[in-house]
Amino acid sequence: MQLAIDTSTDSASLALVEDGKVLAEATWRCGQNHSVELLPRLAQLLNEAKSGLKSVSCVIVAKGPGSFNGLRVGLSTAKGLAFSLKVPIIGISSLELEAYQHAESALPVCPVFNAGRGEIATALYQKKDGRWRQLAPEHITTVDALDGEISGKTLFCGEYVSLIAQKLKKKLGQKAVIAPARPRRASRLAELARPRLEAGDYDHPATLQPLYLRRPAITRRRHR
């Protein structure tokens, strides 16, 4: 049984998956309360699936980019469980997870997260000829700069897209197609991780790190 964990943003998601079947799943708004809510939710999920942690054979975690606090909690929990249970761990890009919710689209999919300071975190993916591919890597940019990065009609998705939809439309015109809002589901993490799981391509708990793309802002103390 695989345990999938996503704490990339203010929304969190957990899923228990076995042989491609979702045994139990929960997605909820937690704000910045990941550290308080994650383990109790996991306990509820295991109870719902009538299972226990000893049945977990692999931990799959969204590794960012995203909320610094959320990623810290999600990664530390996932790594701690993998270490204590002596099971493999696989980290998946949070942007890829966001895009994969729309994998059935014929268009390239551009997930967008708020990176702060007027910038966005994004990448580009597309399913073509039955294969899911990354067309552009995760990076920090701006909506204005996207005009030079997007060459054709593209599907934009993510929680932040609804807040910048008008700006995207104004800058990109008909190239910008706004996806309907969909909650990120941790069960999709298990789908994305399946090829790596089958190939035995795991991450190491000691070296798996969050994909922040930039360093967290630090408020310096003033000297009196």
pLDDT at 224 over 60: no
**Strands of the chain, DSSP E:** 2-6, 11-18, 21-29, 58-62, 89-92, 109-116, 119-128, 131-141, 154-157, 176-178
Predicted pLDDT at 182 = 86
Segment 74-107, tens digit of pLDDT:
999 999 999 999 999 999 999 999 999 999 999 9
Segment 119-159, tens digit of pLDDT:
999 999 999 999 999 999 999 999 999 989 999 999 999 98
- Give ∠ CA 6-177-26 in degrees, rounded to 5: 20
pLDDT at 8 over 70: yes
Predicted pLDDT at 213 = 82
Please state the pTM of the whole predicted model.
Answer: 0.92
Domains annotated for the chain, with CATH where assigned, are 2-93+184-199 (3.30.420.40), 102-178 (3.30.420.40)
Distance between CA 133 and CA 128 in Å, rounded? 8
